[in-house]
Every structure is written in C-alpha cells, then in structure tokens.
Chains A and B, each alone.
Chain A
Amino acid sequence: MSSSYLTPVLTGRTLLRANPVSKLFAAVVITVALMSSIDWVSATVVLGCELALMPLLGISVWGLLRRIWPLLIAAVLGAYGTALLAEKTGDVLLAVGPVVFTEGSVAAGIAVGLRALALALPGIFILLTTDPTDLADALAQKLHLPHRFVLGGLASLRLVGLLVEQWETLGLARHARGIGSDGSVVARTRNLLGQSFGLIVQAIRRATRLATAMEARGFGGGTRTWARASTYSPLDAVIAVVGLVVAVGAVTTAVLAGTWNFILT
C-alpha cells in the first residue's frame, strides 16, 4: 500500500476551497437519508445526483474507477447476499435446490446494492477534495471538537503516512540483520507478520517521541489560538443546500413513488 492513500493528491478546485464542515454536513445528511430506508428509488436518486456531481472532483473516469472498484464489487456482492436472504415474495425467478431468487428478493438486492454504492461515494468526495490540516482546523474551530484530540489525530495521520513509506527501510534493515523476506511461503508469511509488527512498534515509538516534542512546544494546555482561521463562504451555503436538496429529494421521491421503506419499522 502506498502512502498516497493517506496524503492523496487533492483535486477538484472548487470543493477544495470549501470549508470541510459544509462537505461533511452534506455527506452526513445524504447518508442519513439513505440509511433511513432501503429502497431502490431513494438510492437511485442519490446515486444519480452523485454521478452528476462527479465532474467537480476533477479526476478522470479511469482515475475514479481505479479508486472505487472495491466499492463496486462490494455493492454487487451486497446485492447478491440480500437477494438470496430476503423474504421470498413475488414470483420465483430462479430456484436451484435451496437457492431461491424471487422477484421480491431480487428487487431488495438491487436496492441494497444501489444504496451501498450511494453510501460509499460521499467519502470519496471528501477524500479527494479535503486537506487533512483544513479538516482538523474546521473540526476544532467550527465544530468545537476538543483540540487536543483533533491535533493528536492529525499528527498521527501524518505519522502513519510516513511509516507506510518507512516500510521499505524496515524491510532493508531486517534483511541486513538476517531476517529478510526470502524462503518458503511459510517463512515469507512469518516475515511479513514480523515486519508489520515491527512497523507498529516503530509507530508507537515515534508517537511517544512526537508527544514529547509536542509537549516541549507547549501543546496540551486548555486553550490555544489558530494560525489559520477556518471560515465559511457562500460556497459553503451552496454545498450545504445541495446536500439537503439531494437528501430531501431522495426521500420525497421515494415516498411519492411508494417505495419508502423505513428501516426501523
């Protein structure tokens, strides 16, 4: 795994300028709307809107597919699982021994698959358009989450990104000490586990030292100021409204279409 996952190249200039809180807000309302019901109409509406907004991400279709293919597979499998297990209503479409698909169960499966995909995409939007430092600034200044935790989390995000890079060096060092990655499959697996454990040990080690360095620079007190103000702009209002519109639109359409299927009932 490359560290580029933790410090991705940010794209989508417009969204990059927005405050992370507004993006988070939009993602959350859409997610809440999606999660409240399992039906194909609300899922399709949200998914459609998300796809329509994809150009804002500023990456190619290929780039996007490379990133989200595991999500696609997961969605398909989720759909299949539900089709197999849901209540067998409607006509039987396929029956092989105990494996039975009916119209009802397949429809349920499709709904679950679409919903899974629609649920997954907001995370990608935030990932590709949000700088972690901006996110931390916003969480602490706008949402007033405890700054020690926000900054601790931010520092460790960076640290782990570095450690992923360190993986290679650690491998070299182990090779030099006589326990490198050669030999049988069993030996390789053992070495891989050993190296992973070594990496975690180093991560904790560095975290401990980083904590000392942070304290040595006055971190840990009750209050602090912020060198960079996290601010809202009209763009943030637009993003929040778009999020709300998508969420409300999905729910309304589903209710009107009569497919609304609240999960707590």
Chain B
Amino acid sequence: MTPGLVPPQGAVHVSARGWGWRHAGRKAFAARHLELEITPGERVLLLGASGAGKSTVLHGLAGVLGTQDEGEQEGELLLDGAHPASVRGRAGLVLQDPETQVVLARVGDEVAFAAENLSVPREEIWQRVGRALDDVGLALPLDHPTTALSGGQKQRLALASVLAMEPGLLLLDEPTANLDPDGVLEVRDAVVRVLERTGATLVVVEHRVAVWADVVDRVIVLDAGGGILADGPPGTVLVQEATRARLADAGVWIPGWRPPVGGTLPSSGSGPALLSARELAVARTRRGPAAVEDLAIEIRAGEALGITGPNGAGKSTAALTLGGLLRPRAGTLVAHPGLAGTAGSTPHRWRSPQLVQRIGTVFQEPEHQFLTASVEEELTFGPRRISDTVDTARIAELAERLRLTHLLRANPFTLSGGEKRRLSVATMLATAPRLLILDEPTFGQDALTWAELVTLLRELVDDGVAVLSVTHDADFSDALGGATLHISGGAGRLVSR
C-alpha cells in the first residue's frame, strides 16, 4: 500500500453480513438481508423510502438497538470485526431529533459528556470540547444553558457532543431536518470540515439528496423490502437512467427530479374570507416577548398560503396563534362566519370540539399530538369527538394514501420519523376542518409520500379548504402555490406569486 492509501488513523471499517433487525412487537423486519462493506474513511449517504429502516441501521451501527428483549437480530453487523455494542465510542450517533438528546444543563458539560464516558483524561477533555465547538461553529460560553438554543444551534450542539468522542465512524440521522436553508449548509459544512480533519468514516441519512450529493463518495439505497436497491458513487447512482428510474419508483429523492403530483395548482383564493388578522402580535408565553408583531393576513377558502423564515423567527408561534391555540398578544384575529359558523368570531375562545371541526393544526413536533395507543385509534379519535358515526371509508383512504395501512395496529410512538409526521397530518385531515394549519408537514418524507401529500392538499384546496403551511421546503411551497408570508426579524412580509 502506498502511504497515501493508508486509511486514516482510527477510521472504522463497517461490514454487514446478512444483517437484519425486527423490533419487538412488529411482524416485519425493519431492515433485512443487508450485505455491505464500507471501507475506513468512506463517506456514505444512506437513502431509502420512509420506513425503509435507515434509522434502524444507524442504531445498529451505534450498538444501541438493545438486546433480545427489544428485538430479533439476524446475521452480523461488525465495526472493525467487532460487535458495535462491544466497541462503544468507536461510533458516534446523532439521533434524528436533536431536541431529545441533550443530557446536561450546560453547553460545555454536554460536549464533554461523551469524552468523560470514554475515560478521556481531564485536560484532554477540555481540548476536545473546544475543538468540537470550533468545528461546528458554535461560539458560546461553556456555561451557556442548553435550553436557550435555537433549532440550528441545537443541531450543532448535538453534532459537537458526538465529535468530542472523536469517533471513527460518524453516524448522522437526518441532521438537517427542520433547519432553514442557511442552517442546512452550515451544518453540512461543519461535518465536512470535521471529516477532513479526522478522516472518520461517515454514514449520513437524509431524504434531500442534493445537500450531500457533492460531499459523499458513495450512495447506498435501502430497499424497503430488505436488501439494497442501489450502491455506488453519487455520479453513477444518481445519474444513470436505469438506477434513477428504480430510485424514483422507490420514492427516493434524486436531484433534478420532482415526483409527479396529481391535482392542479390551486389558484389564488377567490372564496369567502375565513380568517383575517390585523396588526396581530404573537407571543409564545403570556409575559415573554412577542415573537412577531404587526402581522396582517387574510385567509380565504380554497387558498393555499405559506409561512417561511429562518429558525426561531416565530413561524410556529404565528401558526399556533392563527390556529386559535395561543391568545394574540395584540391586534385582532377575526374568524368570519364561513369558518366560525355558530361559534363566535374569536378562535382562541372556542371549545376544543368546536375548534377541531373548524381549524386543524398539525404541530411541528408530531409526538405532542399523539393521544392513543394505536395508529388506527389515533385516526378515528378526532372524528369521534365530532360525531358518533365515523366515516371509516375516508379514514381507510387516508391511511392508504399516506402509506399507513400496514401500521394501523402499531403504536404511534414506535413509528419512524417520517411515519409519525404522516400520521399527525392524517389525524388532522380526518376531521375535515375548513382551515388546515400545518407546521413543517413534509419533513422526513420520501418523494412518494411527499407527492401524495401534495396531491391530497391540492384536492382539499380545490374543495374549498384553506391550507396554511409553515415550511422550509421550497418545492412544497411551489407545488401548492399561493402567497407566502415571510417572517424574519420580528416582522412579517406578504409575498404574492
């Protein structure tokens, strides 16, 4: 071997031999028949439809899937020839949701945590902490509280805390979900910087391929039915006609292609006004500062509207206020008779059963809204609040179109990230409200479910429903059309198309 080809010190070799994992309580294997060799230092983008088992593979590689009680394993998954759980610390995993993985109260301690667990000597821990924070560009004092961080900062913190382990294998599960477009690039560049310095092996899962296509050496596409659908350099897998067609069929996003959507591009609202806001100021808490002030917006039946803006700008707060959940800080928010019916014109005074029939709000965090123990109960829950007879045909159709049918008996909390998102949207569609407010409805979706979701929403708009969506997904805004309220710096600006 020539010196240049010697694998970087510490990078991990991954091999999977017929590996599979079935979660306890599930009939189907989450991932199966996996045959893989990843050489040290390789940078791999792992793709696959939502629910194909990408997160499961990453958990397996990090050695955190658990024991026999938590599931059944097939075949072998090895890091440098050893079981992942026996070499903890070699692989560092950033979970799908940065919010839920913060362990400690201060930024410095949080980053140091992993190094402490690996028995790194004290002086070196602090060197590593400094370096990891530098690498991800998080310039905060070490005693900064971990609660007071924006979405993008949390994502960087999660990355830094794993980097402090100096892992030979870096595993990232949708590290840029929910970030604004600038944040996406910043986080990606941080990862690239680190890899250049450490030479670690990388496996990153992400639905939006374009972000990573230029910086990885290899793309591996998981087949939802088990095994691997495609494997090779991005220049081949994502470019060759034959593989492109196969990937498109499987619902993988490929650069330069947008899945075909049904329905028609909604025309700008011509229906009666449903909700109008004037000089509206919105705030998350009773006494805290207002997030956005002086918003003016009118939502008409049969209209799609978007809300965009950087992380932390106040989009979700505005959406919750428009949805009648938060009390406006100032200004007026009036529901017109077309929406309010008999319920009075101030949405935040409506009782819950009145609200669900009129406005359906999908929260940014799907788990907050799950109330029952199975997907099926979850879907019928809303309709039951409204009437005694549930339109089972509609529920079945929704489940079918959003690819939830095979999960009807599953527990909502055990779904994959994308499946949870779809379920939370479906629960709101099930109650057929006049106004739908969706907070990041498409994050974590593969191309097929994305297209189905867009089609569904277009149909609803056609039927006279108003759809307001908070989103970082430009394709989605384009596909739904309509005006956009751009929020940043505490103010909103309406951009019409």
Cross-interface CB contact of B413 among A179, A181, A205, A224, cutoff 8 Å: A205
What DSSP secondary structure best describes chain A's contact surface? helix
Cross-interface CB contact of A133 among B63, B109, B121, B356, cutoff 8 Å: B109
Contact status A133-B355, CB under 8 Å: no
Q: How far is the CB of A195 from the nearest CB of chain B, in Å?
A: 10
Known: A212-B95, A216-B92. A133 touches B323 (CB 8 A): no
Cross-interface CB contact of A227 among B88, B105, B129, B371, cutoff 8 Å: B129
Contact status A216-B120, CB under 8 Å: no
Within 8 A of A (CB), among B61-100: 62-64, 88-89, 91-93, 95, 97, 100
What are the interface flags for A152-179 relative to B under an 8 Å C-beta threshold, 1 for contact and 0 otherwise?
A: 0011001000100010111011111111
Contact status B117-A175, CB under 8 Å: no
Q: Is B119 an interface residue (CB 8 A)?
A: yes
Contact status B361-A224, CB under 8 Å: no
Known: A154-B104, A158-B105, A176-B355. A226 touches B117 (CB 8 A): no
Contact status A173-B368, CB under 8 Å: yes
Q: Is B427 an interface residue (CB 8 A)?
A: yes
User: Inside 8 A of B320's CB, which chain A residues have their CB?
Assistant: 172
User: Inside 8 A of B102's CB, which chain A residues have their CB?
Assistant: 158
User: Inside 8 A of B161's CB, which chain A residues have their CB?
Assistant: 217
Contact status B386-A219, CB under 8 Å: no
Contact status B367-A174, CB under 8 Å: no
Cross-interface CB contact of B351 among A168, A172, A182, A212, cutoff 8 Å: A182
Contact status B89-A218, CB under 8 Å: yes
User: Inside 8 A of A213's CB, which chain B residues have their CB?
Assistant: 95, 100-101, 103
Q: Is B403 an interface residue (CB 8 A)?
A: no
Contact status B385-A227, CB under 8 Å: no
Tally of chain B residues near chain A (CB < 8 A): 62
Contact status B369-A229, CB under 8 Å: no
- Complexed CA–CA distance, A24 and B371 (Å): 42
**Across the A-B interface, how many residue pairs have beta carbons closer than 8 Å?**
150
Q: Is A16 an interface residue (CB 8 A)?
A: no
User: Inside 8 A of B59's CB, which chain A residues have their CB?
Assistant: 212
Within 8 A of A (CB), among B363-415: 363, 367-369, 371, 381-382, 385-386, 413
| Nearest residue, chain A, Cβ from B62 | A216
User: Inside 8 A of B147's CB, which chain A residues have their CB?
Assistant: 162
Contact status A180-B363, CB under 8 Å: no
User: Inside 8 A of A124's CB, which chain B residues have their CB?
Assistant: none
Q: How far is the CB of A173 from the nearest CB of chain B, in Å?
A: 4
What are the interface flags for B105-130 relative to A under an 8 Å C-beta threshold, 1 for contact and 0 otherwise?
A: 11011001111111111100110010
What are the interface flags for B405-446 relative to A under an 8 Å C-beta threshold, 1 for contact and 0 otherwise?
A: 000000001000000000000010001000000000000000
Range of interface residues on A (Cβ < 8 Å): 35 or more
Q: Is B352 an interface residue (CB 8 A)?
A: yes
Contact status A177-B104, CB under 8 Å: no
Q: Is A7 an interface residue (CB 8 A)?
A: yes
Contact status B88-A177, CB under 8 Å: no
Q: Is B334 an interface residue (CB 8 A)?
A: no
Q: How far is the CB of A220 from the nearest CB of chain B, in Å?
A: 8
| Nearest residue, chain B, Cβ from A207 | B100
- 15 A-B pairs, CB-CB below 8 angstroms? A155-B103, A173-B368, A175-B325, A177-B352, A178-B382, A178-B386, A182-B352, A198-B371, A213-B103, A216-B162, A217-B114, A217-B162, A226-B122, A227-B108, A227-B122
Residues on A close to B: CB < 8 A? 7, 132-133, 151, 154-155, 158, 162, 166, 168-170, 172-183, 198, 202, 205-206, 209-210, 212-221, 223-229
Residues on B close to A: CB < 8 A? 59, 62-64, 88-89, 91-93, 95, 97, 100-106, 108-109, 112-122, 125-126, 129, 147, 161-162, 165, 285, 320, 323, 325-326, 351-353, 355-356, 360-361, 363, 367-369, 371, 381-382, 385-386, 413, 427, 431
